[in-house]
Amino acid sequence: ILGGGSNILFLNDFNGIILYPKIPGINICKEDRQYIWIEAGAGEVWDDLVKFCVDAGLGGLENLSDIPGSVGAAPVQNIGAYGQEAGNAIELVKGYDLVKKETAEFKNSDCEFEYRNSLFKRELKNRFVITSVVFRLDKFPEYNLSYGKVEETVKAMGEVNLQNIRKAVKNIRSSKLPNVNILGNAGSFFKNPVVKKEVAEKIQSVYSDIPVYQAGGGQVKIAAGWLIDKSGWRGRRSGNVGVYSQQALVLVNYGGATGEEIYNLSEEITRSVFEKFGISLEREVNCI
C-alpha cells in the first residue's frame, strides 16, 4: 500500500501488487467555539492540506509544512517535525480492512501513535487501506516554537503567526534537505534515538554540544544527525551514494545507485555510530 512513496526504499525489483489510493477531498466536518474538524482524502498531497489549514487560520499542522507524501501515509508513520506530530491532531482514521473485507474507523486512542510509529505500521501493515483522515484543528492555537531554529527564524520575520511559522519551516527544510529532483533522497533516513537520560549524560560529559530533547519517562531524544556527523560521515561519498554535506541525517543518490547500495551505506553508518556511542540507530525509511 503506497502513499507518496517518498519514504520507501526498494532493495530489489518488487514482484507484487501495489495499491495506490488517490482519494481526493478536503472538507469541513463540524466545528465548535475552539476547534474545526476537517476530513481529508488519503490521496491528497500532505502539504496541500497543511497550506489549506494555515490559510484558514487553523493550527495543529503548521510545523509539518513541506513534508512530502500523502495524507493517507501520515498516520502510518505518525509524521512529525519541529515539535509537532500528525498524531496530535488526528481525530479519526477511516479505511478498509483487506482481511476482514469491511470498512473500519480508528479513534486516535486506538491508533497507538508513537514516535514515527503506529498500529498501521505494525499489526495492520499492508492490511488496512486508509481512505481518509479526520483532523481536529485549533481556531486559537498555541504556537510551537521550541524546536531547532524555528523560533529564531520566525521572530526574524516579525509577527509570530501561522503563516510565518510555515514560511520558517519551509526555509529551514530547504536549507537542510537537497532538492529531490536534483539529488535523490528520502529526507531523514534514521529516527532520532530515544535513550535513558543516563546514557545521554554520559555522552554529554565528553561532547557538551550534543543536542538532547526531553522525551518523558526519564528518557531523552538525541539528534541522530549529530551522532552520524560526530562519527565522521557527513559529506562522505561511496560510489553512487553518500551522506549529504548539509545534513548528516540524509543519505543521497548521486545517480545510478541501487536500493541495495543505499541500504548497505545505512548499515555501515549504523555500525559506526554503535561502535562510537553504543547507540543503535533505527531507520525511518521503510525498506522493502
Provide, rounded to the nearest whole percent, the portion of the chain with pLDDT above 70: 100
> What angle separates helix 162-176 from helix 150-157, to the nearest 10 degrees?
120
Spatial separation of the C-alpha atoms in residues 146 and 209, rounded to whole Å: 18
Task: For residue 198, name the pLDDT band (cuts at 50, 70, 90).
Answer: very high
| Per-residue pLDDT tens over the stretch 218-237 | 999 999 999 999 999 999 99
Band (pLDDT 50/70/90 cuts) for residue 261 is very high
pLDDT above 90 for 207: yes
Contact by Cβ (8 Å): 221, 194:
yes
pLDDT (0 to 100) of residue 181: 86
d(CA 187, CA 105): 30
Q: What is the mean pLDDT of residues 162-189?
A: 93
pLDDT at position 273 is 98
State the catalytic residue, choosing from 44, 62, 85, 284.
284
Q: Which amino acid is at 28?
A: I
- Could you give the percent of the chain with pLDDT greater than 90? 89
Query: What is the reported pLDDT for 109?
Result: 98
Average pLDDT of the chain, as a whole number: 95
Q: What is the C-alpha separation between 186 and 212, in angstroms, rounded?
A: 24
Distance CA 244, CA 186 (A): 11
The band of 266, judged by pLDDT with boundaries at 50, 70 and 90, is very high
Predicted confidence at residue 217, as pLDDT, reads 86
pLDDT tens digits, one per residue of 149-167? 899 999 999 899 999 999 9
Query: Which residues on neighbouring strands pair with residue 94, listed in sequence order?
Result: 105, 132
The per-residue pLDDT for 285 is 93
Q: What pLDDT, on a 0 to 100 scale, did the predictor assign at position 21?
A: 92
pLDDT tier for residue 215 given thresholds of 50, 70 and 90: confident
In the prediction, which pLDDT does 3 show? 87
| Structure confidence by residue, pLDDT tens digits, 85-133 | 999 999 999 999 999 999 999 999 999 999 999 999 999 999 999 999 9
Tell me the CB-side half-sphere exposure of residue 72, using CA atoms within 13 A. 26
Task: Decide if pLDDT at 148 tops 80.
Answer: no
Categorize the per-residue pLDDT at 275 as very low, low, confident or very high, splitting at 50, 70 and 90. Answer: very high
How confident is the model at residue 137, as a pLDDT?
98
Query: Strand 237-238 vs strand 241-243: parallel, antiparallel, or unpaired?
Result: antiparallel
Give the CB-side neighbour count of residue 206, counting CA atoms within 13 A: 8
pLDDT of residue 33: 97
According to the model, what pLDDT value does residue 71 have?
98
Look at the chain and count its residues.
288
Q: Note if 188 is an active site residue.
A: yes
Q: Looking at 44, 116, 118, 234, which residue is catalytic?
A: 116
What does pTM read for this prediction?
0.89
Marked catalytic residue, from 188, 231, 234, 266: 188
- At 86 the pLDDT is 98
- Picking from 106-115, 126-135, 209-218, 264-273, which range would have the lowest pLDDT averaged per residue? 209-218
Question: Which architecture characterizes domain 184-287 according to CATH?
Answer: Alpha-Beta Complex (3.90)
Q: Catalytic residue at 284?
A: yes
Whose grid coordinates read 549504523? 270
The structural domains of the chain, with segments of one domain joined by +, span: 8-173, 184-287
Contact 250, 243 (CB under 8 A): yes
Sign of CA dihedral 250, 256, 259, 264: negative
The whole-number average pLDDT for the span 28-41 is 98
Cα 168 vs. chain centroid, distance in angstroms? 17
CATH topology of domain 8-173: 3.30.465
CA-to-CA distance for 254 and 40, rounded, in angstroms?
A: 35
